[in-house]
């Protein structure tokens, strides 16, 4: 059986999932989605109120995989240079010296992205897309892997600049952490402080391992029947958009993102083939923010789509 | 929406076993019922049909799904009322009309109480049956065409009922039904052409009190004038060779020898000639042209056939083997029963106006009674001037021609001595006046004579001739030199009547009411085209009998195949059909639109069908995993098999290995094997 062959090898991914589970309790599905996004080479958007563990999630990922990470708290007076870096005149050398900003890292936690002015937002989003930044005419390559976890406060507030849909498309996946259930909350309250736990965490995977798994995810087999199903779903969203039932239909880029996520999800579950179940598992997180602007608004639409489009 | 019907959720919940019909289905059935009932409105009395239609519409408009419109007790009362009403209308119960009327009403009642699947299936079958009954009344092209929408809706209703309300969206059902309908057409056509014909329609068409149209067995002044106003088709003729010239188109019908001083009538029981070769061949006319032709007669409910003067054989009916045809010594062609269905027959004639009598005419051909003294006196006086019969007859014809006789449809009213009044007073009349007076004058002068009725004329339309009721005509025959010779006094008065037809002859007539034909070339063209279509229908569909069928086989170069051959051919055809036509449709119904199903998919579909039959239907958008999980919960003892099937299905359909046909087949076999173990659900 093709999926048994990788079972032994797959233990490393299982170990990552287990370790993440022990730090961020009760959020198994969201953790897997975040990990799959990382494997698929995309970026993650977390829509949530403060204090539900967004930072913990980012730090847990960084700690478990051994990634270098930075955090930027976005505010309304944040400038692009604060994110990507700035050239300062070096008096001794009589030249301008580029000082790398927080974006030069492997995992960037962009907190409350929607508080920053559009110019700053787009500087980051460009970096996300191109995997490079340009300052004063010089281009600087970003590291590989480069993974952004941006958070957005869904509540309507003064002084925020909601991301336009075209920018939302840059995020492969959006998730919502939400409050933990009673049992998990008790564990958080009664257990060790998360920060101590994170400090004590040893990575179970190296950056090289991560690159290997990313390559492996790209090789997962996708049968024509699955592609049919994906195409049917894409077509259904476009039909909805035409009828005015949602803002946008899914773009081909969204289709590619969906496919990458399906592969990563399949790999995460020890399979070398994508099955329709994978598509269904990741569809809501990939499609919601693109078609309706947010996960919360998109959820009923994607649910309807999944229960109406025939599985190939 | 996206390939799903957005109907209310109530029937999604009970889709599996159930039984209650959705509002949507009820409406669909209502339309089907109405469409099946509509054609019969033409044939049944309104006071019986309208309550039925009203009930159907009432049900169609109700919105309560759960409650039937009619409670069982009410239905029983309604059925009793229907029996009484039908009996009151017809006076009997077991016959075509009362039975059809009763079925018509029953269909409405059944629809009124329909609420479950079972009722619906029965209702659709009843609709199909009621739809057929209209052909008991009329088998025209129009009846066939108006039944097409109802047939389509019957198909659609069956589909809707069978697919359990909401499984498939309406558009798909409409399309698929249309597709199946179109595919069924060639089969129907082949069945129609190839299945051995039954020569007699199984139902009795008679006994419905139709008003007879056309000629009758008596003639009195005025009877032809009324006929001439009718533009209805009497019969149509296809000639084997070229058609006869207009002045030769005398279609011989009833021969009126009897005379009572006012009316002319057919003499009862003349000698019958049953020899199939025909009665007489005249030496003098033996070199005149023999003409063969096929007549398609409209049902006229009269017991005789028409043939070109002079017929030389007993016509052979094509599509009614039970009908016995005979010819008497007056060359009148009788049938054993009235023509109640369109009849096709072959006939042969020589185009001659005289023939030798088999028996010498008896006294009946000389009867003048004691009426019309003036005419009698005139005949006697004229007779004394001419020695031989022939010149006397010519003299009478000339007299008609010279005197100011006028050919008109609206002659003045005549007294008791109608012939006296006509030839000396009014001198205005129609063919029956001339024929009647002429025969009377001849008889008064001692020459045996009689009136022959039939049709004179006919209009060519493409390759066939239409003879209408307005072509009805009466002429005479006189027995001179041992031969019956034809004389047409009308021709002496109005020669254009014979050469160009009644319409032309009456052009100057003050009463144009006869002309139901409108003088517009385009309109006339349309009328002719329409007639051509109707005739083609008569000829090719209604008239397609066993003889034509044999002819068709011969044309194809095959001996008429035996029933066995046909059965075998159909089995082979059905197999091919199933292979090439039904299979793609089946795939289409599966909703995947793929050309061919992969083996794994095929076996998986079998399992899905099996589960569906046992009340576990796969939901829209449900993955195989979820579906199998539900099945495992329902039938835990098959968990192993079900899980193995799921795994093999995934491997076969989605894995890289499964893309290889050999491996795919292996997985398919696993599914098949495990499927075989799941027997009792």
Measured CA angle at A147 (ends A143, A152), to 5 deg: 140
CA dist., res. A62 & res. B85, Å (int): 90
CB B103 within 8 A of CB B128: no
Closest CA to B197 of B563, B574, B538, B539: B563
In a shared domain, residues A115 and A37: yes
CA distance A306 to chain B (A): 5
Q: Does A225 touch chain B (CB under 8 A)?
A: yes
Asked whether residue A12 is assigned to any structural domain, the reply reads no
If pLDDT is split at 50, 70 and 90, which confidence band does B281 have?
Answer: very low
Q: Tell me, what's the pLDDT at A227?
A: 92
Closest CA to B65 of B13, B131, B120, B114: B114
Asked whether residue A267 is assigned to any structural domain, the reply reads yes
Tokens 């060639």 belong to residue:
B186
Domain ranges, residue A141: 26-210
CA distance A223 to chain B (A): 5
Q: Return the structure tokens found at A204.
A: 């179970």
The torsion of the CA quartet A35, A41, A43, A48, rounded to 10 degrees, works out to: -10
CA dist., res. A251 & res. A170, Å (int): 11
What residues in A contact B659, CB-CB < 8 Å? 221, 223
CA dist., res. B79 & res. A224, Å (int): 60
In a shared domain, residues A270 and A193: no
Where a domain ends, among A148, A180, A210?
A: A210
Q: Determine whether the interchain pair A1/B647 forms a contact, defined as Cβ–Cβ distance below 8 Å.
A: yes
* Per-residue pLDDT reduced to its tens digit, B243-275: 888 888 889 988 888 888 788 888 776 555 554
Q: Does A227 touch chain B (CB under 8 A)?
A: no
Nearest chain B residue to A238 by CA distance is B2
Nearest to A311 among B2, B3, B621 (CB): B621
Q: Tell me, what's the pLDDT at B118?
A: 82
If pLDDT is split at 50, 70 and 90, which confidence band does A221 have?
Answer: very high
In a shared domain, residues A114 and A203: yes
Which residues touch A194 (CB under 8 Å, ≥6 apart)? A23, A53, A56, A188
In a shared domain, residues A129 and A161: yes
| Cβ count near B332 (within 10 Å) | 26
In a shared domain, residues A171 and A305: no
The more confidently predicted of residues B359 and B17 is B359
Q: Determine whether the interchain pair A2/B651 forms a contact, defined as Cβ–Cβ distance below 8 Å.
A: yes
Q: Return the structure tokens found at A95.
A: 């030249």
Determine which of A63-77, B12-26, B139-153 has the lowest per-residue pLDDT on average: B12-26
Is the pLDDT confidence value at A89 over 50?
A: yes
* Per-residue pLDDT reduced to its tens digit, A132-143: 888 878 888 888
Helix, strand or coil, per DSSP, at residue A294: coil
* Per-residue pLDDT reduced to its tens digit, B388-437: 888 888 888 888 888 888 887 777 777 778 888 888 888 888 888 888 88
Q: Determine whether the interchain pair A310/B620 forms a contact, defined as Cβ–Cβ distance below 8 Å.
A: yes
In a shared domain, residues A70 and A205: yes
As a whole number, the mean pLDDT across chain B is: 78
In a shared domain, residues A30 and A82: yes
What residues in B contact A311, CB-CB < 8 Å? 621-624
CA distance B637 to chain A (A): 24
Q: Tell me, what's the pLDDT at B23?
A: 76
CA dist., res. B207 & res. B95, Å (int): 9
Asked whether residue A157 is assigned to any structural domain, the reply reads yes
In a shared domain, residues A103 and A185: yes
Q: Tell me, what's the pLDDT at B275?
A: 47
Is the pLDDT confidence value at B16 over 80?
A: no
Q: Determine whether the interchain pair B621/A306 forms a contact, defined as Cβ–Cβ distance below 8 Å.
A: yes
In a shared domain, residues A72 and A203: yes
Q: The pTM is what?
A: 0.46
Asked whether residue A265 is assigned to any structural domain, the reply reads yes
In a shared domain, residues A201 and A250: no
Closest CA to B342 of B545, B538, B162: B538
Nearest to B3 among A223, A240, A310 (CB): A310
Where a domain ends, among A165, A185, A210?
A: A210
Where a domain ends, among A184, A210, A236?
A: A210
Mean pLDDT score, B137-166: 82
CA A57 to chain centre: 11
CATH number reported for the structural domain that contains residue A240 in this entry: 1.10.8.80
Is the pLDDT confidence value at B11 over 50?
A: no
CA distance B64 to chain A (A): 28
Angstrom distances, CA of residue A193 to CA of A17, A190, A199, B220: 20, 9, 10, 124
Q: Tell me, what's the pLDDT at B19?
A: 58
Strands A147-152, A107-111: pairing is parallel
CB B270 within 8 A of CB B214: no
Backbone φ and ψ for B63, nearest 5 degrees, come out as -110, -15
CA dist., res. B560 & res. B563, Å (int): 9
In a shared domain, residues A167 and A70: yes
Closest CA to B300 of B341, B337, B266: B341
Using CB atoms and an 8 Å cut-off, which of residues 234-263 of chain A contact chain B? 236, 239-240
Q: Tell me, what's the pLDDT at B583?
A: 62
* Per-residue pLDDT reduced to its tens digit, B438-464: 898 888 888 889 899 888 888 887 778
Provide the sign of the torsion angle of the four alpha carbons B172, B174, B177, B179, taken in this order.
negative
Q: Determine whether the interchain pair B3/A274 forms a contact, defined as Cβ–Cβ distance below 8 Å.
A: no
Is the pLDDT confidence value at B304 over 60?
A: yes
The conformation of residue B614, written as its DSSP 8-state character, comes to T
Q: Tell me, what's the pLDDT at B507?
A: 56
In a shared domain, residues A164 and A285: no
Q: What one-character-per-residue DSSP string does A138-163 give?
A: EEEEPPSS-EEEEEE--S--TT--PP
Q: Determine whether the interchain pair B659/A273 forms a contact, defined as Cβ–Cβ distance below 8 Å.
A: no
* Per-residue pLDDT reduced to its tens digit, B211-241: 445 677 778 776 776 666 677 788 889 888 8
Asked whether residue A102 is assigned to any structural domain, the reply reads yes
CA distance A185 to chain B (A): 30
CB A289 within 8 A of CB A171: yes
Nearest to A276 among B4, B623, B659 (CB): B623
Backbone φ and ψ for A229, nearest 5 degrees, come out as -60, -45
Asked whether residue A3 is assigned to any structural domain, the reply reads no
Provide the sign of the torsion angle of the four alpha carbons A208, A211, A213, A216, taken in this order.
negative
Asked whether residue A15 is assigned to any structural domain, the reply reads no
CATH number reported for the structural domain that contains residue A138 in this entry: 3.40.50.300
CA distance B78 to chain A (A): 45
ipTM score = 0.85
Q: Tell me, what's the pLDDT at A37?
A: 93
CA dist., res. B299 & res. B320, Å (int): 12
Q: Tell me, what's the pLDDT at A277?
A: 92
What residues in A contact B621, CB-CB < 8 Å? 280, 305-311
Which residues touch B613 (CB under 8 Å, ≥6 apart)? none
Is the pLDDT confidence value at B284 over 60?
A: no
Asked whether residue A18 is assigned to any structural domain, the reply reads no
- Total structural domains within chain A: 2
Tokens 């003299």 belong to residue:
B395
Nearest chain B residue to A237 by CA distance is B2
CA dist., res. B423 & res. B418, Å (int): 9
């Amino acid at each position: 059986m093709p999926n048994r062959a990788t079972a032994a090898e797959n233990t490393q991914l299982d170990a990552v999932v287990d370790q993440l589970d022990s730090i961020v309790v009760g959020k198994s599905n969201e953790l897997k989605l975040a990990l799959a996004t990382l494997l698929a080479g995309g970026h993650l958007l977390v829509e949530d109120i403060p204090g539900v563990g967004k930072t913990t999630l980012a730090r847990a990922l960084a700690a478990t995989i051994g990634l270098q990470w930075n955090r930027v708290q976005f505010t309304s007076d944040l400038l692009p240079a604060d994110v990507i870096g700035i050239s300062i005149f070096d008096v001794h050398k009589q030249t301008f010296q580029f000082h790398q900003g927080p974006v030069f890292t492997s995992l960037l936690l962009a907190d409350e992205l929607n508080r920053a002015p559009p110019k700053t937002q787009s500087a980051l989003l460009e970096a996300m897309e191109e995997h490079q930044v340009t300052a004063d005419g010089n281009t600087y390559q970003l590291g590989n892997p480069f993974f952004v976890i941006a958070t957005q406060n869904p509540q309507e507030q003064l002084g925020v600049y909601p991301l336009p849909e075209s920018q939302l498309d840059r995020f492969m996946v959006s998730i919502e952490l939400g409050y933990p259930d009673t049992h998990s909350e008790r564990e958080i309250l009664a257990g060790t402080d998360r920060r101590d736990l994170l400090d004590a965490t040893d990575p179970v995977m190296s950056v090289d391992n991560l690159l290997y798994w990313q390559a492996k995810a790209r090789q997962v087999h996708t049968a024509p029947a699955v592609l049919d199903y994906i195409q049917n779903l894409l077509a259904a969203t476009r039909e909805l958009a035409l009828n005015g039932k949602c803002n946008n239909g899914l773009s081909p880029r969204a289709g590619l993102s969906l496919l990458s996520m399906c592969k990563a999800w399949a790999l995460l579950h020890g399979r070398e083939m994508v099955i329709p179940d994978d598509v269904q598992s990741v569809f809501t997180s990939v499609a919601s923010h693109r078609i309706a602007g947010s996960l919360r608004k998109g959820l009923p639409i994607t649910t309807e789509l999944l229960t109406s489009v025939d599985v190939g | 929406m996206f390939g799903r019907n957005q109907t209310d959720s109530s029937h999604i919940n009970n889709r599996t076993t159930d039984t209650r019909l959705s509002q949507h289905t009820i409406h669909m059935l209502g339309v089907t019922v109405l469409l099946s009932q509509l054609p019969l409105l033409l044939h049944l009395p309104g006071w019986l049909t309208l309550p039925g239609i009203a009930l159907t519409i009432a049900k169609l408009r109700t919105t309560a799904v759960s409650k039937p419109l009619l409670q069982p007790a009410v239905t029983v009362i309604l059925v009793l009322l229907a029996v009484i009403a039908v009996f009151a209308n017809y006076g009997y119960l077991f016959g075509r009309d009362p039975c059809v009327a009763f079925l018509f009403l029953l269909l409405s009642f059944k629809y009124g109480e329909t609420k479950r699947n079972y009722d619906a299936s029965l209702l659709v079958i009843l609709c199909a049956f009621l739809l057929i009954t209209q052909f008991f009344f009329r088998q025209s092209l129009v009846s066939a065409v108006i039944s097409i929408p109802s047939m389509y809706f019957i198909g659609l209703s069956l589909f809707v009922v069978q697919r359990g309300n909401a499984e498939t969206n309406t558009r798909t059902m409409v399309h698929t039904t249309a597709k199946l309908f179109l595919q069924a057409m060639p089969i129907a056509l082949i069945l129609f052409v190839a299945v051995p014909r039954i020569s007699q329609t199984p139902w009795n068409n008679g006994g419905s009190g139709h008003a007879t149209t056309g000629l009758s067995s008596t003639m009195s002044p005025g009877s032809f004038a009324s006929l001439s106003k009718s533009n209805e088709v009497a019969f149509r003729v296809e000639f084997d060779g070229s058609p006869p010239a207009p002045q030769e188109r005398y279609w011989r019908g009833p021969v009126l020898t009897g005379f009572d001083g006012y009316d002319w009538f057919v003499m009862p029981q003349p000698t019958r000639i049953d020899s199939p070769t025909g009665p007489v061949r005249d030496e003098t006319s033996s070199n005149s042209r023999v003409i063969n032709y096929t007549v398609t007669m409209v049902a006229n409910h009269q017991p005789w056939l028409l043939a070109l003067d002079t017929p030389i054989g007993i016509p052979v009916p094509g599509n009614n083997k039970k009908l016995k045809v005979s010819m008497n010594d007056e060359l009148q062609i009788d049938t054993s029963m009235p023509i109640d269905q369109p009849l096709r027959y072959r006939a042969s004639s020589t185009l001659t106006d005289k023939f030798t009598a088999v028996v010498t005419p008896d006294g009946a051909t000389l009867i003048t009674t004691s009426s019309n003294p003036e005419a009698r006196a005139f005949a006697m006086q004229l007779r004394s001037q001419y020695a031989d019969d022939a010149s006397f007859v010519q003299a009478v014809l000339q007299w008609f021609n010279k005197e100011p006789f006028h050919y008109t449809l609206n002659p003045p009213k005549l007294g008791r001595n109608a012939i006296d009044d006509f030839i000396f007073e009014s001198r205005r009349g129609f063919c029956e006046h001339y024929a009647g007076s002429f025969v009377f004058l001849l008889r008064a002068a001692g020459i045996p004579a009689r009136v022959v009725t039939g049709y004179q004329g006919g209009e060519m339309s493409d390759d066939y001739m239409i003879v209408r009721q307005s072509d009805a005509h009466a002429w005479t025959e006189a027995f001179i030199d041992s031969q019956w010779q034809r004389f047409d006094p009308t021709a002496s008065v109005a020669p254009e009547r014979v050469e160009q037809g009644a319409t032309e002859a009456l052009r100057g007539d003050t009463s144009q009411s006869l002309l139901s034909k409108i003088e517009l070339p385009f309109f006339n063209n349309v009328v002719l085209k329409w007639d051509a279509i109707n005739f083609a229908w008569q000829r090719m569909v209604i008239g397609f009998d066993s003889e034509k069928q044999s002819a068709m086989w011969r044309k194809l170069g095959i001996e008429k195949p035996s029933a066995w051959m046909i059965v075998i051919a159909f089995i082979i055809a059905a197999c091919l059909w199933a292979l090439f036509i039904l299979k793609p449709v089946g795939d289409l119904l599966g909703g995947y639109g793929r050309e061919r199903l992969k083996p794994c998919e095929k076996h998986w579909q079998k399992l899905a069908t099996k589960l569906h039959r046992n009340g576990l239907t796969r939901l829209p958008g449900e993955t195989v995993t979820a579906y199998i999980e539900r099945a495992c919960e329902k039938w835990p003892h098959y968990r192993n098999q079900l899980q193995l099937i799921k795994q093999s299905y995934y491997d076969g359909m989605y894995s890289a290995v499964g893309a290889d046909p050999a491996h795919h087949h292996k997985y398919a076999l696993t599914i098949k094997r495990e499927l075989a173990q799941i027997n009792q659900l």
